[in-house]
Chain A
Amino acid sequence: QVNLLQSGAALVKPGASVKLSCKASGYTFTDYYIHWVKQSHGKSLEWIGYINPNSGYTNYNEKFKSKATLTVDKSTNTAYMELSRLTSEDSATYYCTRLRAYVMDAWGQGASVTVSS
């Protein structure tokens, strides 16, 4: 079955960067785009951007263009999101999702990022 396994929780200092991973299994990795979504504590969901695992093409929500960088490693079926220049506003749970027929039909378990000194 389709599974997206994300890296664990991260505690990072303000100004630092963090790289989250999302390992896909149960389907052909290069056939579906991977999207990333942010959920701040107790709040709604924000779309960050997506990557085409086959070509590496990316597209970002304007709000996250200078914050997030999406990459993939096709050899390990893994997608990555690096978040830079972290502030307390970046403390949240981040999800990777698979896009199928324009909807997010599979989600990772989420990765919690806490920014604190």
Chain B
Amino acid sequence: IQMTQSPSLLSASVGDRVTLSCKAGQNINNYLAWYQQKLGEAPKLLIYNANSLQTGIPSRFSGSGSGTDYTLTISSLQPEDVATYFCQQYNSWTTFGGGTKLELK
């Protein structure tokens, strides 16, 4: 299943509400996860089952969506949130999106 993320690059200011999008090629029944990857580090699980927050992840991160369209929202951007974010479907085997690179304006 093809996963398409947009935008590929996003510039935002500290305190901004940020929205990242992920579109699946077919209905993935909310089997959608979001990962954060900081430069030089391994990816880290943020959200699973489209909207469930992984233990230890700040509550400013939230996920939503259904069917083919999903969103990761950061309610108030912090400097430590600079990273690349990947979505992943696990409805049929597993595939990842191309990533959204989030930088500070």
Known contacts A61-B93, A103-B90; A44/B45 CB under 8 A = no
Query: In angstroms, how far is the closest chain A Cβ from the Cβ of B40?
Result: 9
Known contacts A45-B86, A95-B42, A110-B42; A103/B98 CB under 8 A = no
Give the one of A101, A103, A104 with max B CB within 10 A. A103
Query: In angstroms, how far is the closest chain A Cβ from the Cβ of B73?
Result: 19
Chain B interface secondary structure, helix, strand, loop or mixed?
loop
Decide if B64 is an interface residue (CB 8 Å cutoff). no
Known contacts A44-B86, A45-B43; A105/B96 CB under 8 A = no
- Chain B contributes a number of interface residues (CB within 8 A of A) equal to 20
A45 contacts B45, C-beta separation under 8 Å:
no
A107 contacts B48, C-beta separation under 8 Å:
no
Distance of A107 Cα from B90 Cα, bound (Å): 17
